[in-house]
A and B are shown apart, each in its own frame.
Chain A
Amino acid sequence: MMRLLNILVIGALIVAASYVYKIKFDSTLQAERVAKLRSELRQEHNAIAVLRAEWAKLDTPARIQGLADRHLALRRIEPTQFDKLERLPERPAPGAPGSDSIGAMLAPAGSDTTGSTPQARAR
């Protein structure tokens, strides 16, 4: 009886020891992974900070204004160019398929060319 108990206890001891060893080994691996991820996170954070600073530098109004002046033929917006959303006309009811409802609205204006800008119309 005592001998069986002893054998059982020894067996349990070995199982427990190997299990603890496995847990310990796993936790070491996990801890290493955590440390690695942390340092990666730090690097990413730093990279993000650099990119954000660079973005802010590229995005600064002074630079955008300079680029716009150099490359675009835009003028400063005039107060008359604003309008309220409420004053936008209702969308026309859809006509028969194939017919151009927007074109029909424009036709009475009597122009044969269309375009959104004066230059386009002149062409």
Chain B
Amino acid sequence: MYGPAKAPESGWQRALRALLYGRDVDRNVKAKARLGLAVVGFAGIFLVIAFRLVLFATSGEGHNGRRSVSQDAVATARPDILDRNGEIIATDVKTPSLFAEPRKIIDVDEAVELLTAVLPDLDASEVRERLSSKRGFVWLKREITPSQQREIHRLGIPGVGFLTENKRVYPNGPTVSHEIGYVNIDNQGIAGIEKWLDGQGLAALHMAGLATDQLQRPVNLAVDLRVQYALREELAAAREKYKAKASAGVIADVNTGEIIAMVSEPDFDPNNPRIANDPDHLNRLTTGVYEMGSTFKALTLAMALDSGRISLSSSFDARMPLRYGKFEIHDFHAQRRVLTVPEIFTYSSNIGTARMALSLGVEYHKAFLKKLGQLDRLRTELPESAEPLVPKHWGELNTVTIAFGHGLSVAPLQAVMGISALVNGGKLIPPTFLRREQAEADRLAKRVIKPETAEKMRYLMRLNVEKGTATRANVMGYYVGGKTGTSEKVVGGRYSKTKVLTSFTAILPADKPRYLLLIMLDEPQGLPETHGFSTSGWNAVPVGAKVIERVAPLLDVPPRFDLPKADQLLLVSAKETR
């Protein structure tokens, strides 16, 4: 080509060349330039191909990953719920669900016949209707067994398939029901902690179809399954024994606000929550509000002692019933004499506490209860909560009755929070159902009373068990303190003499409280063995004693047999503070 010897061109050949390439062009130079252009062009193309290859090689997993997400998207996974020791309270199990694509079904009648043969509880007419529809996707039956899946698979019906779904399982049945709540068939939380979980962004994950198993870390609750079980069993037994309408109980850690156990009988099985919305089966501790009765006297006494104007040696006149307008306040254990402050507590004197509250004034009383969180709705992780019933016009008469626990209805969990603050050294800590470390509790805590007042409250609670209304709670080996409460229920606008709500609030151990126990019985009946009495000391207190004896070893509270007298408790604390 590049040869120097060139045949001479004929005339018309030259003319053609001039026409094609231009007149004075050196073809050799031009060919080199073209070659260069071709090299650059091909090099560019190969570079692009190589670059794409590298891209494919590095992101080759993308295909697999996408497939697994779409498979899990329908399976709305939820995190496991564990108790404080890591025992499973709720978990997910994969179960197949049967679906159909009606457009792909050839013979509807045959399909219906075959399916109803394998799944006898399937409604034939409903299945026929669904399969005849023009929709692209219909569920036929959720949560079938693996053996049913195998049989249907073997039938080989076109247009029928399976999807694996997550089914929520509660292995403990009704034991923790009110706390965890339950889910619907689509694994969405309906009540309790399950609903709270959805509020924590899980619902959004579900919507985006991203709630896969890998994403989820288990949730640790504060509840102790063993304690919860023991409490529930004792409360169920108590409800039967005293023929009560309902029984409820809470065990809380007074220093962190954790709820170790919470039971409200009757309850339900979250695996089959059909009766959960029945008003009888609601959680009385959070959704119910009650007049707590004499239990509230603990708050009144703490207020009085904390004011600095009343000391343990102050005394109040309880000789005569307190007359206020047309009302007359009586004592249940009437002494008809002047009572000192500890006596007012141990005899549970309505007159004494009412006079105490009156001497401090209505506004002071109101402000103190507000400070202790008794007048506002208590919010916890549980979505269910109830607003306390506070009198609209709070006059002196209201202060008189609220001083001994009538005329103000609060959620029992709220009272637990308030009384915990009275004994734990004066720190109000919002209760929680999740694990909480001491440091976090201290951060959330709000000082409401002085530590010295808390010492005095511990002494009063212990004294009440030694020689007050709660003597039946004096469990051998445990230093229990407590306050009883019996409130008359309002029936038809009047306080009933026979229908009562009894409660018992206990602290354990009384000299350095770690746990607070609340037992509540709704309309307990008098029994021959209680001499017909239905007040707290005869039913709620013995139940509380039984619970303490049973759960104290589980709560790591060792029995002690060198228990000091309550008076010594006060002496020791006085020495320490000096």
Residues in chain A within 8 A of chain B (CB atoms)? 27, 31, 34-35, 38, 42, 45-46, 49-50, 52-57, 59-62, 65, 76-77, 79-80, 82, 84
CB < 8 Å: which of B91, B172, B175, B476 contacts A79? B476
Contact indicator A79/B478 (Cβ below 8 Å): yes
Q: Please name the 7 residue pairs, one residue from A and one from B, whose CB atoms are nearest each other, closest first.
A: A79-B477, A56-B171, A79-B559, A61-B229, A56-B88, A57-B171, A46-B94
For B559, what are the chain A residues with a Cβ–Cβ distance below 8 Å? 79-80, 82
| Complex contact A53–B558 (CB within 8 A) | no
User: Chain B residues with Cβ under 8 A from A31's Cβ?
Assistant: 60-61, 64
Minimal beta-carbon separation of A45 from chain B (angstroms)? 6
Secondary structure call for the A interface: helix
Question: A46, A61, A77: which contacts B553 (Cβ < 8 A)?
Answer: A77
Q: Count A-B pairs with CB separation below 8 Å.
A: 74
Interface residues of B in 191-215 (CB under 8 A from A): 213
CB-based nearest A residue for B68: A38
The answer to whether A61 touches B226, judged by C-beta atoms less than 8 angstroms apart, is yes
Check A62–B68 contact: CB distance below 8 A: no
B172 contacts A60, C-beta separation under 8 Å:
yes
Residue of B nearest to A81 (CB): B559
Q: B475's contact among A38, A54, A65, A79, by CB below 8 Å, is which?
A: A79
Chain B, residues 62-75, CB within 8 Å of chain A (1/0): the string is: 00100010000000
Instruction: Known contacts A60-B171, A77-B553, A80-B477; decide if A49 and B94 are in contact (CB<8 Å).
Output: yes
Q: Which residues of B contact A42 (CB under 8 A)?
A: 68
B143 interface residue (CB < 8 Å to A): no
Residue from the set A27, A34, A55, A62 with the largest chain B CB neighbour count within 10 Å: A62
Q: Is the CB of A53 within 8 A of B169?
A: yes
Assuming A34-B64, A79-B475, is B553 touching A53 (CB within 8 A)? no
Scan residues 520-567 of chain B and give those whose CB is less than 8 A from a CB of chain A. 549-550, 552-553, 558-559
Residues of A within 8 A of B229 (CB): 60-62, 65
Q: Is the beta-carbon distance between B225 and A49 smaller than 8 angstroms?
A: no
Chain B residues lying within 8 Å of A57, measured Cβ to Cβ, are: 169, 171
Within the assembled complex, what's the spacing in Å between the Cα atoms of A49 and B216? 13
Name the contact of B172 in the complex, choosing from A35, A49, A62 (C-beta under 8 A). A62
**How far is it, in angstroms, between the C-alpha of A34 and the C-alpha of B231 when the chains are bound?**
50
B48 to chain A, nearest CB (A): 17
B376: Cβ under 8 A from any A Cβ:
no
Residue of A nearest to B229 (CB): A61
Q: 1/0 contact trace for B81-124 toward A, CB 8 Å? A: 00000011001111000000000000000000000000000000
Main secondary structure of the interface of B (DSSP, over half): mixed
Q: Is the CB of B87 within 8 A of A59?
A: yes
Contacts of A45 in B (CB 8 A): 213
Q: How far is the CA of A119 from the CA of B108 in the complex (A)?
A: 72
Number of interface residues of B (CB under 8 A): 32
Identity of the chain B residue whose Cβ is nearest the Cβ of A46 in the assembled complex: B94
| Contact between B175 and A50, CB atoms less than 8 A apart | no
- Is B361 an interface residue when CB atoms closer than 8 A count as contact? no
Interface contact B91-A62, CB-CB below 8 Å: no
Contact B88 A52 (CB under 8 A): yes
Q: Which residue of A53, A76, A77, A84 contacts B91 across the interface (Cβ within 8 Å)?
A: A53
Q: Which residue of A lies closest to B226 (CB)?
A: A61
How far is B232's CA from A65's CA once the two chains are assembled, in angstroms?
13
Alpha-carbon distance between A56 and B68 when the two chains are bound, in angstroms: 28
Report whether A62 and B94 are in contact in the complex, using a CB–CB cutoff of 8 Å: no
A115 to B85: give the CA distance in the assembly, Å: 36
Q: A36 vs B558: C-alpha distance in the bound complex, in angstroms?
A: 54
Contacts A57-B169, A60-B172 supplied; 6 other A-B pairs, CB < 8 Å: A53-B169, A56-B91, A60-B173, A61-B226, A79-B477, A82-B559
* Chain A min CB distance to B513 (Å): 18
Least CB separation from A43: chain B residue: B94
| Minimum Cβ distance to chain A for residue B269 (Å) | 12
Closest CB in chain A relative to B225 CB, distance in Å: 6
Contact A53 B173 (CB under 8 A): no
Q: Bound state CA distance, A31 and B56, in angstroms?
A: 13
Report chain B residues within 8 Å CB of A60: 171-173, 175, 225, 229
30 A-B residue pairs with CB within 8 Å: A27-B57, A31-B64, A42-B68, A45-B213, A46-B93, A46-B94, A49-B91, A49-B92, A50-B94, A52-B88, A52-B91, A54-B171, A55-B88, A56-B87, A56-B171, A57-B171, A59-B87, A59-B171, A60-B173, A60-B225, A60-B229, A61-B226, A61-B230, A62-B172, A65-B229, A65-B233, A77-B553, A79-B477, A79-B559, A82-B559
Given contacts A61-B175, A77-B553, contact A82 B87 (CB under 8 A): no
How many angstroms from the CA of A35 to the CA of B71 in the assembled complex? 14
Residue from B94, B175, B230, B552 with most neighbouring chain A CB atoms (10 Å): B94
Q: Tell me the bound Cα distance from A79 to B61 in angstroms.
A: 62
Per-residue CB contact flags for chain B residues 476-506 toward chain A (1 = under 8 Å, else 0) read 1110000000000000000000000000000
For window 327-341 of B, CB contacts with A under 8 Å fall at none
Chain B residue at minimum C-beta to C-beta distance from A50:
B93
Considering only CB atoms, which chain A residue lies closest to B72 in the complex? A42
A104 to chain B, nearest CB (A): 30
In whole Å, how far is B214's beta carbon from the nearest beta carbon of chain A? 9
- Which A residues are CB-close (under 8 A) to B233? 65
Per the bound structure, the CA–CA distance linking A45 and B172 in Å amounts to: 22
Closest to B89 in A: A56
Q: Find out whether the CB atom of B171 lies under 8 angstroms from the CB atom of A35.
A: no
* Chain B, Cβ-Cβ closest to A45: B213
By a CB distance below 8 angstroms, the chain B residues around A38 are 64, 68
Q: How far is the CA of A60 from the CA of B87 in the complex (A)?
A: 9
Query: Which residue of the partner chain A has the closest CB to B546?
Result: A76
Complex interface: chain A residues within 8 A of B175 (CB): 60-62
> Which among A27, A31, A34, A52 has the highest number of chain B CB atoms within 10 Å?
A52
Q: Which residue of A lies closest to B64 (CB)?
A: A35
* A62 near B173: Cβ-Cβ < 8 Å: yes
- Give Cα A27–Cα B91 distance, bound, in whole angstroms: 37
Q: Which residue of A lies closest to B57 (CB)?
A: A27
- Given the complex, which residues of B lie within 8 Å of A61, measured CB to CB? 172, 175, 225-226, 229-230
On chain A, the residues within 8 Å of B476 by CB distance are 79-80
